[in-house]
Every structure is written in structure tokens, then in C-alpha cells.
């Protein structure tokens, strides 16, 4: 198994949710593997760990209707489309970057 990305508590990237958060949104992990870990450091003990799942791989708890699938697909395409280069980059654009990773890299090296 590959090494999971680890994020600090409250600094989880967009597009990830814990099982409990998925459940609150009417979703379930849907057979996907854990995509990342959240760690909250604790004094004199090991960190508190939560497992994150990818929201775009999650499955609804209730069966989807064609209309709901369509709305979800539309929303996903919008969230994967980089406003800078206009490409569907295949992952949700991180709001912290506001653009896809290559665009953010280019913007950073240009600065
Ligand atoms: Zn881009």
C-alpha cells in the first residue's frame, strides 16, 4: 500500500471528507480506499488520526436518480475545471490554489 498524504487537523484539502462527514452529506465511501489521513497532535500521546475519503469517489447512501446524477456530474465538472487554463484537470481544483497545480506552479515561479 502506498503512503497516504497526511494533513494537519482543519487543513484538509477540499474534496476530502471523513466517513462521518460523508454520512452527513448522504454519502458513503463506496468501496474506495482511504485517500488521506488527518492528524491532530496531542500532548504526550500519539496524534489523533482520522481517515479521509475522496468525495468524488463516494457513493450516495440512497439510490441516485438520473436527474441527481446529472446535477452531480455538472457540479463535478465545474469543480474540476481550472479557471486559469480552462481545462478539466481530472481532480477538484483546490480552493487554496484557485487553479490547477500546473497553473499554480507557473504563477508561483513567475512571481
Ligand atoms: Zn490550469
pLDDT single digits (tens) 7-32: 888 777 888 999 988 888 888 998 99
Cα 92 to averaged position of ligand 1 atoms, centre (Å): 12
Per DSSP, what are the bridge partners of residue 17?
Answer: 53
- For residues 20 and 22, what is the distance between their CA atoms, to the nearest angstrom? 5
Cα 62 to averaged position of ligand 1 atoms, centre (Å): 34
Burial-class residue 22 by CB neighbours within 10 Å (0-12, 13-18, 19+): buried
- Residue 35 has a pLDDT of 93
- Residue 21 has a pLDDT of 87
Cα 56 to averaged position of ligand 1 atoms, centre (Å): 19
Cα 101 to averaged position of ligand 1 atoms, centre (Å): 7
Look up the pTM and report it.
0.49
- Residue 36 has a pLDDT of 93
Write the pLDDT tens digit of every residue in 48-94: 889 999 998 998 887 778 887 888 888 888 889 999 999 998 888 88
Q: b vs e for 58-84, b when ≥16 Cβ sit within 10 Å of the residue's Cβ? A: bebeeeeeeeeeeeeeeeeeebbbbeb
Is 12 in a helix, a strand, or coil? coil
Cα 88 to averaged position of ligand 1 atoms, centre (Å): 8
Cα 100 to averaged position of ligand 1 atoms, centre (Å): 4
Amino acid at each position: 500500500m502506498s503512503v497516504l498524504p497526511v494533513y494537519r487537523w482543519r487543513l484538509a484539502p477540499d474534496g476530502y471528507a471523513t466517513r462521518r462527514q460523508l454520512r452527513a452529506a448522504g454519502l458513503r465511501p463506496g468501496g474506495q480506499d482511504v485517500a488521506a489521513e488527518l492528524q491532530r497532535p496531542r500532548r504526550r500521546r500519539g496524534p489523533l488520526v482520522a481517515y479521509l475519503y475522496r468525495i468524488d469517489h463516494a457513493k450516495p447512501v440512497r439510490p441516485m436518480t438520473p436527474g441527481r446524477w446529472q446535477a452531480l456530474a455538472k457540479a463535478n465538472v465545474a469543480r474540476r475545471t481550472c479557471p486559469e487554463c480552462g481545462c478539466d484537470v481530472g481532480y477538484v481544483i483546490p480552493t487554496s490554489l484557485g487553479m490547477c497545480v500546473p497553473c499554480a506552479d507557473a504563477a508561483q515561479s513567475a512571481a
